[in-house]
Amino acid sequence: MITSKFTKAHLAHLPTPFELMPNMTKKFKGPNLYIKRDDATGLAFGGNKVRQLEYYVGHAMDQNADALLTTGAVQSNHVRQTVAAARKMGWHVEVQLEHRVDTHAKEYSESGNPYLNKLMGAVIHNFDVGEDELGADKAMYDRAEELKVQGYNPYVIPLSATDKTPWGSLGYVECIEELCHQASESKTQIDAIILGSGSANTHAGVLAGLIALDMNIPVYGFCVRRDGIAQTERVEIKTRKVLTLLGIDETKLTPGMVMCADWVLAPGYGLPSSEVVDAIHTTAFEEGILLDPTYTGKAMAGMLGMIKDGKFNDNDNIVFLHTGGTPSLFGYPELVAGK
């Protein structure tokens, strides 16, 4: 395994399934639509952060940590999976919820992920500023200092791109190795990979994994938090860091390889457009596969938009990376209002 020199905690149910979406393929007539089911990584409803946490927690184990801290939006899946990882390790856990999404739905702040954080008994802090990534990270580092005084050895998982080593991306280097193996077993040549791009740990890990394997597959990232220019820069920075971590020449990442489309982002983080709501309903109706309004619904709307615009050839094999997020559906009762 490319990542075998790094310490890893075993938190996920792997490998996740790699499957055809037969009904979506039929409906949209053209490319074959496959799905990599990383919503099925297992731990506390799964999702992509479980793979990332295997390496963050591995790094924390190397430092003899006994407490985890992280920050995210109120409906953050990353926060929920971090709480679950700490619980599985038997560690103390504190999380900070940033008030990023302007919604008045009571369910947004109480149901889905925030409900699960409470169920797992996390210590919860609130951070009222919506868009201050460095400030949110700093508040966690300050809290970690207090925990040290209390005798803990805390490990902080930061969210900003400029800070720290992207250990979590190693989980997506591993995912790509797993996916390429599954594809070759089933004699499927992958022509494109589609994913949602947020903190960029997933996007950077996927690109670094493909570079490590010398696989030339285009990766289409759909922006969920910032515009295409800012996200492209962020993915480039992170991918270079991951390559360096793996001991691979970072110049193997060439500018055209990072693709981030942002038309699905509007009206903003955590808020789905009508195309996104349609994509969620279509995928649920056709395949019984549940997407979410913040990430996977946006990536699916992006993929369907590309199909409609004729961006793929008939019989191309497209892989949609399902990164999870389904518990947050319960924070958005309006998605089924009137049905």
Ligand X SMILES: *Cc1c(COP(=O)(O)O)cnc(C)c1O
Residues serving a catalytic function are 76
Compare residues 53 and 318 and give the one whose CB is closer to ligand X. 53
Strand 32-37 and strand 18-20: the pairing is: antiparallel
Least spacing, CB of residue 338 vs ligand X, in Å: 26
Compare residues 92 and 239 and give the one whose CB is closer to ligand X. 239
Least spacing, CB of residue 80 vs ligand X, in Å: 9
- Residue identified by tokens 């820069």 is 233
Are 328 and 45 within 8 A, CB to CB? no
Residue 117 sits in the site that holds ligand X (CB under 6 A)? no
Q: Which one, of 336, 324, 262, 330, lies nearest residue 297 by Cα?
A: 324
Compare residues 21 and 147 and give the one whose CB is closer to ligand X. 21
Distance between CA 83 and CA 91 in Å, rounded?
9
Q: Which region among 93-101, 127-135, 140-148, 197-205 touches ligand X (by CB under 6 A)?
A: 197-205
- Of 203, 234, 240, 241, the residue at the interface with ligand X (CB under 6 A) is 203
Q: Which region among 26-34, 248-256, 282-290, 320-328 touches ligand X (by CB under 6 A)?
A: 320-328
Distance between CA 136 and CA 159 in Å, rounded?
8
As a three-state string, the secondary structure of 196-264 is EECCCHHHHHHHHHHHHCCCCCCEEEEECCCCHHHHHHHHHHHHHHHHHHHCCCHHHCCHHHCEEECCC
Residue 324 sits in the site that holds ligand X (CB under 6 A)? yes
Least spacing, CB of residue 133 vs ligand X, in Å: 12
Question: What part of residues 258-317 is at the interface with ligand X (CB under 6 A)?
Answer: 292, 295-296
Compare residues 68 and 147 and give the one whose CB is closer to ligand X. 68
Taking CA atoms, 7 is separated from 102, 171, 192, 303, in Å, by 39, 11, 30, 35
Least spacing, CB of residue 241 vs ligand X, in Å: 14
Which residues are near ligand X by CB under 6 A?
Answer: 47-48, 77-78, 196-203, 292, 295-296, 323-325
